Structure 1
């Protein structure tokens, strides 16, 4: 076992974890933005008397 191979394995594991967490974060952010945009549009289109 060389230090380079262990270092490469650590980088690969960190890369996979970063990619997985990044995809999850992007999906959560996109869903939050979509819900926020829909809420803002409904708030702007509906009159205040409906509340």
Structure 2
């Protein structure tokens, strides 16, 4: 999970801009990442 946490932190701003959510330090749980992917999949311009 630590590799995912580092990736989320490195890409936090783009994730926030893409989803409209505030992404905190502990947002890299499986459930939260699944919701991010689901949200991005709904946006044709994000794909």
Query: TM-score category by the smaller chain?
Result: 0.3 to 0.5
Name the structure, 1 or 2, with higher relative contact order (CA <8 Å, separation 6+): 2
**What TM-score do you get using the length of structure 1 for normalisation?**
0.31
Higher normalized helix content (fraction of residues)? 1
**What TM-score do you get using the length of structure 2 for normalisation?**
0.33
